[in-house]
Structure 1
Amino acid sequence: MSMNKYLDVSPEVAAAVAAGKPVVALESTIISHGMPYPQNVETALKVEAIIRENGAVPATIAILGGRLKAGLSPEEIEYLGKKGHAVNKASRRDLAVLVARGEDGATTVTTTMIIAHMAGIKVFATGGIGGVHRGAETTMDISADLEELANTPVMVVCAGAKSILDLGLTLEYLETHGVPVIGYGTKELPAFYTRKSGFSVDYEIDTPAELAAAFHAGEEMGMRSGMLVTNPIPEAYSMDADVINSAIEKAVAMAKEQGVHGKETTPFLLATIKDITGGDSLDSNIQLVFNNARLAAQTAAELCKL
């Protein structure tokens, strides 16, 4: 494992990686930009607890004072949760400047993958990935998450792409870049708040052991790309597709009216959808993250047996 001079791996995470024990990476944008305080901190700590219950070590990832961190203390999670939107949302393009300036950054899917890979962590659980935004054929607004999945060999367990995106174009982009899109127990791409999207995934895989075997085979062959595992939100928390889609349409129209673009888009849309749905979307968001943490920990445990 390449130790980077800007990287701090917590003793627990470093020991687990060195001993070949299961570790699951977690992002920090969900803490600072995904939910209000104190719910963000409670959720982050609960996700860590779920990973432990399922036999793995959690490694929440962030940039603190210009240091790349793999494995945060509860105090550091609390700090990010309280600081909220004042923390920079850090994508790949932001890393060098934030590190050079000694600033804080909440990691997106992209930067969590980069830092996890540096630290020797192979499995990462998140909510939803970014993708190709609606209207991208004119705006060129495509999330760096997709490019990272093409280039960094980390398995990302998510609930599909956020349905605020153009899901068809997101799948096309991943296919062009050779990223396998796996449905966990489903042939259909889950759309974050709902279990169905009308789009097909590349493969359906039904057990953590099979997921681990597929990722391991790619690794052994020297395939550079990551693997995207889409795990549908549990039935009990799945939202009505019409309700969520109409909320999304409204939010997208509001973003356009208010000239919201770039990295402000996703936080704006998620907050607006939460307001329109009376908070139901936030509850769903929390439950799907818990569900992904479970699957990621079980898969990481299987991967360590190979």
Structure 2
Amino acid sequence: MDETVDRERVVDLVRATIEEDLAGGVDVTTTSTVDPDQLSIAELVARADGVVAGLEIAELVMRQVAAPDDVEIEHGVTDGASVHEGDVLMTIRGKTRQLLTAERTALNLLCHLSGVATLTRRWVDAVEGTGAVIRDTRKTMPLLRILEKYAVRCGGGKNHRMGLSDAALIKDNHVIAAGGVAEAFRLVRKAYPDIAIEVEVDSVEDALIAVESGAELILLDNMDVPQLVDAVSKVAGRARLEASGGLTLDQARAVAETGVDFLAVGALTHSAPVLDIALDLREA
């Protein structure tokens, strides 16, 4: 994990996920079938090609289930690495009971985060060379945002705001409530003079109103390629532009080539398939 990740929050999250599995206090299958002193080696192995994210999270799960000094862990790769089917991502040596109890929680997090990183990398690769940046959204799983946005970074994407207080995003409902784009912008700027403001618009005309109001970042919502080209031409560099809404991977490059600065892709976090990773156990 990088320095932007709140490690204390991650530890709390990991503990909660472990408690979810151990709500009854014990892993009844493992304690019934495995001697308490048995030692094993577990390998986390990629079952498909992709980009890995969350290895430190998986390690943290292992060390939370076991006493920290009861496991020896060796990383085969680091987060953000491209991996191939059969690659060993991590090797853990410890008590078999603890390894098996931690297995599903560690894999749930690792497979999901690696799936987010893998999908992000596909989008980043699709727009390579255009100058456009792939960004995520707030369409994240509740309580997993800090990890999912980390996984986006592992895949080469950038983060939009983390929460509602980081920056202002004036959306269509705010515009309706305020009585127009210009008025909504004025009210936010008055209340928060120093905060970054992005304005969502669904027409080139409203984009120009936002620019004239002082907006430096404009979200072009559900516009097709010709509309995006028109918006880029008419805004003419006076504000940064972000395409969003209904974007698909097969059209990503065409959208990026319109000259927008960002593509906001909710699918990175809300629709990423997991990367298949397994835990293979063998005798120590």
Q: Do these two structures clear the TM 0.5 threshold for a shared fold by scoring above it?
A: no
TM (normalized to structure 1)?
A: 0.24
Whose helix fraction is larger, Structure 1's or Structure 2's?
Answer: 1
Of structures 1 and 2, the larger Rg is shown by 2
TM (normalized to structure 2)?
A: 0.25
Specify which structure has the bigger relative contact order, considering alpha-carbon pairs within 8 angstroms and separated by 6 or more residues: 2
